[in-house]
């Protein structure tokens, strides 16, 4: 299978939809693009990243611990950048429709956001069993994951109150809103196969979701976060073509931290759309010999702050992956966060996302002193 450089796929920049946020009151000049790779230089510049004790945080009964809100030093910069951003269209191959922002969030802001989210969010190392070719297969997810959101049939309605003992912690009091179809509203036991109750999107991710919606003119109700701790963490070829996402879903995918290759290839002839499996490996890649006519593999070396918008027929017809990377002085070993925004249409989406991205296993949290993900229960015992 031949490869082409990413620049050969670029069409003229797509016209960006007008931003819809009320905060769009002025335009700012875009900062210079820093094309240097993720490096120790950035670590030095980002030493002012918020500490483990946030100035303000949000609590909810489904959160294992309060989740820090984005500090203004990060949120204000991101808002400015997203509201002026424009991407390059990649659509010269059959059934492919991508919008590539390279980058959307320049460094060092992107790396500050990476460090902030890695230290502030709970993560899980999910194990599950799937049926593949008629046999049960145990899967150990080769990355850390976490997810927030609720499907289209219902929505979270939250009011924030400040706790008495800590005025910096907002306590979300959550109920489920009535929908246009009350029969589909959330009721006890609706999500019977969920690994945990659906969790509201915390403000630090909701802010990014809302701004992305203004940028893309799409709407999302789920935010999935993957943490690739080393070059050995990966995700195999798959497509996000589950029925609960509807036809031709639009998925926004952010990269933060280490640069990792993002590979795409067309599904083999005859595989057809909508053949996704449960879990993380949704559509088998097929044999390397079966190449869809008129297509070649695409390789995008996604850097910190880059964003890919996958839309149109892309998910129905194309596969994508993050392959393993190894070797001495491997940049991938410094860690990468991927944030994807999606829209689940039915309860099956909610059940799937929590089962395969939270599961029933223990909570992990980043330990800054040890520079590794650790069991949250162990960290709590050490802190007394």
The whole-number pLDDT of residue 48 equals 40
Whole-angstrom distance, CA of residue 126 vs CA of residue 18? 39
Residue ranges for the known binding site for 2-oxoglutarate are 226, 228, 238, 320, 336, 340, 342
Nearest to 78 by CA among 52, 110, 51: 110
Residue ranges for the known binding site for substrate are 241
By DSSP bridging, strand 251-257 and strand 169-176 are: unpaired
Whole-angstrom distance, CA of residue 218 vs CA of residue 203? 19
Nearest to 51 by CA among 368, 343, 312, 374: 368
So where are the chain's domains?
59-383
The whole-number pLDDT of residue 306 equals 97
Using only C-alpha atoms, the chain has a radius of gyration, in whole angstroms, of: 20
- Is 213 in a helix, a strand, or coil? helix
- Beta-carbon-side half-sphere exposure of residue 193 (alpha carbons within 13 Å): 10
User: How is 282-350 classified by DSSP, letter by letter?
Assistant: -S----TT---TT--EEEEEE-TT-EEEE-TTHHHHEEEEE----STT-GGGG-EEEEEEE---SHHHH
The CATH number of domain 59-383 is 3.90.1010.10: no
The whole-number pLDDT of residue 269 equals 83
Whole-angstrom distance, CA of residue 326 vs CA of residue 328? 7
By DSSP bridging, strand 235-238 and strand 318-322 are: antiparallel
β-bridge partners, 257: 336
Q: Which helix (H) or strand (E) holds 33?
A: none
By DSSP bridging, strand 57-59 and strand 169-176 are: parallel
Regions of the chain with pLDDT less than 70? 1-54, 158, 174-188, 271-289
Whole-angstrom distance, CA of residue 149 vs CA of residue 222? 4
- Is 3 in a helix, a strand, or coil? strand
Strands (E), the chain: 3-4, 57-59, 67-68, 88-90, 98-101, 127-132, 135-140, 144-149, 156-162, 169-176, 222-228, 235-238, 251-257, 260-266, 297-302, 307-310, 318-322, 336-342, 364-367, 372-375
| pLDDT digits 0-9 by tens, 274-302 | 434 333 334 333 444 577 888 999 999 99
8 Å CB contact between 99 and 87: yes
DSSP 376: H
Nearest to 56 by CA among 76, 74, 70, 73: 70
Rounded to 10°, the helix 109-120/203-216 angle is 140
| pLDDT digits 0-9 by tens, 326-383 | 888 889 999 999 999 999 999 999 999 999 999 999 999 999 999 999 999 999 999 8
User: How is 50-92 classified by DSSP, letter by letter?
Assistant: --SS-SSEEE-TTSSS-EEPPPHHHHHHHHHHHHH---EEE--
Residue ranges for the known binding site are 226, 228, 238, 241, 320, 336, 340, 342
By DSSP bridging, strand 57-59 and strand 67-68 are: antiparallel
Nearest to 233 by CA among 302, 325, 301, 170: 325
């Amino acid at each position: 299978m031949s490869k082409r450089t990413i620049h050969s796929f670029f069409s003229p920049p797509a016209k960006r939809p007008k931003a819809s946020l009320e905060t769009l009151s002025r335009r700012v000049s875009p900062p210079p693009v820093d094309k240097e790779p993720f490096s120790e230089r950035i670590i030095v510049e980002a030493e002012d990243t918020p500490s483990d004790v946030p100035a303000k945080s949000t609590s909810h009964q489904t959160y294992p611990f309060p989740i820090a809100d984005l500090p203004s030093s990060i949120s204000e910069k991101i808002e400015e950048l997203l509201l002026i951003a424009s991407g390059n269209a990649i659509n010269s191959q059959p059934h492919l429709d991508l919008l590539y922002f390279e980058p959307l969030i320049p460094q060092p802001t992107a790396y500050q956001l990476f460090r902030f989210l890695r230290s502030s969010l709970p993560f899980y190392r999910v194990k599950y069993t799937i049926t593949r070719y008629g046999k049960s297969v145990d899967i150990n997810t080769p990355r850390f994951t976490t997810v927030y959101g609720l499907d289209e049939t219902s929505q979270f309605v939250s009011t924030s109150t400040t706790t008495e003992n800590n005025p910096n912690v907002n306590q979300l009091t959550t109920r489920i809103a009535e929908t246009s179809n009350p029969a589909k509203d959330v009721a006890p036991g609706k999500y019977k196969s969920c690994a945990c109750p659906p969790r509201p999107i915390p403000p630090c991710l909701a802010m990014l979701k809302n701004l992305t919606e203004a940028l893309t003119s799409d709407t999302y109700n789920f935010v999935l976060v993957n943490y690739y701790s080393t070059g050995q963490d990966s995700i195999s070829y798959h497509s996000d073509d589950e029925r609960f996402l509807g036809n031709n879903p639009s998925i926004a995918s952010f990269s933060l931290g280490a640069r990792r290759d993002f590979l795409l290839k067309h599904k083999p002839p005859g595989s057809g759309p909508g053949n996704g499996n449960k879990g993380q490996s949704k559509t088998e890649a097929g044999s390397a010999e079966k190449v869809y006519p008129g297509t070649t593999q695409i390789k995008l070396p996604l850097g910190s702050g880059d964003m890919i918008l996958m839309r149109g027929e892309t998910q129905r017809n194309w596969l994508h992956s993050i392959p393993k990377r190894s070797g001495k002085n491997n940049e991938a070993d410094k860690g990468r966060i991927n944030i994807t925004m999606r829209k689940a249409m039915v309860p099956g989406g909610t059940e799937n996302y929590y089962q395969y991205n939270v599961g029933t296993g223990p909570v992990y949290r980043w330990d800054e002193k040890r520079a590794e993900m650790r069991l949250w229960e162990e960290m709590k015992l050490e802190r007394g």
